[in-house]
Amino acid sequence: MSINILIINGPNLNLLGKREQSQYGTITFEDLKNKCLKKSKEIGINLNFTQSNIEGEIVNLIQEAIKNYDGIIINAAGFTHTSVAIRDALAIFKKPIIELHISNIYKREEFRKKSLISDVVTGGIFGIGIDGYILAIIAMQKMIEK
């Protein structure tokens, strides 16, 4: 069985390595993408790694994923705290979803401590840096294979 996973990255994550290195580290978005693609290839998973700064594009990606993907890993970034539209799209997906954050949103500003998507995802990984992406890929594979 071929496993197809979509990783969705929200606003400003394309600027990894340039923005708030104390929170997000020095790895660039392209390096992170390559690291995830390498890991997925090692374990035999088909992976699409995307990013958008536009809320509606992320909603479209989630809707299209219903027919094309077995699971979604999403770092909705700032939309985590504001987007009912992304939350509603994820609720329709009905397959495994992992919410991912590079930083620990519960140790940051008060407004970041509320995730609008946590109650519709299967599980979450936050606060362990970019290694969270690799853990999410492995966890997603295990969830789908069960």
Q: Catalytic site residue 101?
A: yes
Q: Among all chains, which residue has been given the structure tokens 């407004």?
A: 111
Q: Catalytic site residue 81?
A: no
CB neighbour list of residue 119: distance below 8 Å, 6 or more residues apart? none
- What's the pLDDT score for residue 111? 77
pLDDT tens for the chain, 146 residues: list them: 699 999 999 999 999 988 666 666 678 999 999 999 999 999 999 999 999 999 999 999 999 999 999 999 999 999 999 999 999 999 999 999 999 999 888 877 777 778 999 999 999 999 999 999 999 999 999 999 98
CB neighbour list of residue 50: distance below 8 Å, 6 or more residues apart? 6, 7, 8, 9, 61
- Which residue is catalytic, options 69, 81, 101, 133? 101
- What's the pLDDT score for residue 24? 62
- What's the pLDDT score for residue 116? 96
Where do runs of H (alpha helix) occur along 69-146? 84-93, 131-145
pTM for the whole structure: 0.94
